[in-house]
Chain A
């Protein structure tokens, strides 16, 4: 994973709860991408962030999903009021420089 960290690795939530997924890119890097992988599917782009800025959120669902990358600390993907359809693997990636290296992913299960 080339030093891209994600936590937690597994997250279980009940419907209606909030999920917070964290991603720390490679050391010294200030850009992250988030992708979602639904069961038995490929990865789909969600959002691209630079520290303190959202560059492209064209893949983010309009409701309940938000992302941030503060000046200090990891990038956070937040899902409010989770539903069963949010169950998926969420990956973040750190670009270096022409290739995105992915973290190990967070597997979210919504009961």
Chain B
């Protein structure tokens, strides 16, 4: 069965702190995609990153970085020097590379960045 676990329901940090959001997944597929989406208070879903299972290189984009470790089935997301605008719910998702390509989402982590 496929499953995505985001164990942290809610995290609060003070502005400028670094914060890591955890994501653990389960799948029997040998190839798959992993994603992070941001859902700000306005409610839309904003795509942040896609990672293919055969590419374990970590990625950095500005203040955002992602650590993919296949050995532990984890795809963690770190925000460096957090800002109030980072306050949102963040979802990790698992996607197939075959079949109907539907996504399995985690339950999300609500990040509150306090000024």
Contact = CB atoms under 8 A, between A and B. Distances in A.
Contacts, number: 58
Interface in B1-53: 4, 6, 33, 35, 37, 43-45, 47, 50
Interface residues of A, number: 25
Contacts of A102: 37, 44-45, 47
Residue from B6, B97, B103 with most neighbouring chain A CB atoms (10 Å): B103
A48 B105 CA distance: 16
A105 B44 contact: yes
B101 A95 contact: yes
A65 interface: no
State the majority secondary structure of interface residues on A. Answer: strand
Interface in B38-76: 43-45, 47, 50
A48 B43 contact: no
B44 A104 contact: yes
A82 to B, nearest CB: 20
A99 B50 contact: yes
A100 B45 CA distance: 10
The interface centre, meaning the residue of B37, B45, B47, B104 with most chain A CB atoms within 10 A of its CB, is B45
A50 B44 CA distance: 23
Given A41-B107, A42-B107, A99-B35, A105 B101 contact: no
B102 A43 contact: no
A42 B106 contact: yes
B91 interface: yes
Interface of A: 1-2, 33, 35, 41-45, 48, 55-56, 59, 89, 91, 95, 98-105, 107
